[in-house]
Amino acid sequence: MNELSSSASTPTIQCEQLSHSFPMAGERFQVLKGIDLTVMPGEMVAIIGPSGSGKSTLMNLIGCLMTPEQGELKILGKSTSGLTKAQLADVRRDHIGFVFQQFNLLARTSALDNVKMPLMYHDEPIKDADERARACLESVGLGDRLHNHPSQLSGGQQQRVAIARALINRPDILLADEPTGALDTHTSGEIMALFRKLNNAGHTVVLVTHEMEVAEQADRIVMVRDGCLLQDSSQHLEGAK
């Protein structure tokens, strides 16, 4: 976490009227329709909504993996509008750790080397890469699995490796798109407890799920439906259960 994350009153994430469409059958399919969302430092927010509602698109925009057609995204108070691909990659490297449903680990590659991967995108070689990767794996409870390949690990352990990889650049923001979607209920609970622990350690966490039991582990629940943000408070959703 670096100098940009200085002010506690500066939103960590600010989406202003984010809109996006994809080409479909010769027309445009409007997947996001003017999303306003502000996430403050230290928040843990769950984005919930049915399949196809635009959750992953919103996460990919917040994660600077793609740019919105309309609207503005600010990360730590800084606009990302007009940034080049290389500049967006720098924002990702310096501020954002991304966790995916399918773990996206390199096969035939040790946990340690998987976690070290994002360090390759620095201009200068990172001297203490091994120690950093080991510390990240220890922080997710895998200090005794450094040299195992993904195929030698359970689904929950693989997701822990992916979380360690997301932590390696000490991000301000952890984004997770359906991080428990490929896991059984018990393991999901363990992974959510890990996100809670990381949130308590200072990471702002935004995760996507379509399961209310998972979303309820967050402090705040945001619902996306048909590309719109419907409600923005866990209290408002009480009646929807």
Ligand X SMILES: Nc1ncnc2c1ncn2[C@@H]1O[C@H](COP(=O)(O)OP(=O)(O)O)[C@@H](O)[C@H]1O
Which residues bind to Mg ion, rule: CB under 5 A? 55-56
Q: How far is the CB of 214 from ligand X (least distance, A)?
A: 14
Q: How many Å is the Cα radius of gyration of the chain?
A: 18
Going by the DSSP 8-state scheme, the letter that residue 53 receives in this structure is S
Phi/psi at 101 (5° precision): -60, -45
Least separation, in Å, of the C-beta of 62 and ligand X? 12
Least Cα distance to 224 among 12, 38, 56 occurs for 56
Residue 114 contact partner, candidates ligand X, Mg ion, none, CB within 5 to 8 A by sort of partner: none
Burial degree of 24 (CB within 10 A; 0-12, 13-18, 19+): exposed
Nearer to ligand X, 149 or 225 (CB): 225
Closer residue to ligand X in complex, CB, 32/161? 32
Q: From the CB of 218, what's the least distance to Mg ion, in Å?
A: 17
9 part of the interface to ligand X, by CB under 6 A: no
Question: Least CB distance from residue 134 to ligand X, whole Å?
Answer: 34
Which of the listed partners (Mg ion, ligand X, none) does 62 bind, with a CB threshold of 5 to 8 Å by partner kind? none
**Judged by CB under 6 A, does residue 92 bind ligand X?**
no
For residue 78, the cross-strand partners are: 75
Residues 25-54 that bind ligand X (CB under 6 A): 31, 49, 51-54
> By CB under 6 A, is residue 22 in contact with ligand X?
yes
Binding mask 55-74 for ligand X (x = CB under 6 A): xxx-----------------
Q: Which of 83, 167, 159, 86 is nearest to 121 (CA)?
A: 86
Question: Which of 118/227 has CB closer to ligand X?
Answer: 227
Q: How far apart are CA 221 and CA 232, in angstroms?
A: 6
Q: How far is the CB of 54 from ligand X (least distance, A)?
A: 4
Amino acid, res. 225: R
Tokens of 142: 């895998």
C-beta of 25: minimal distance to ligand X in Å? 11
As a whole number of angstroms, the distance between CA 56 and CA 78 comes to 22
**In the β-sheet with 78-79, what is the strand arrangement from edge to edge?**
27-39, 13-24, 70-75, 78-79
Which positions touch ligand X (CB under 6 A)?
A: 22, 31, 49, 51-57
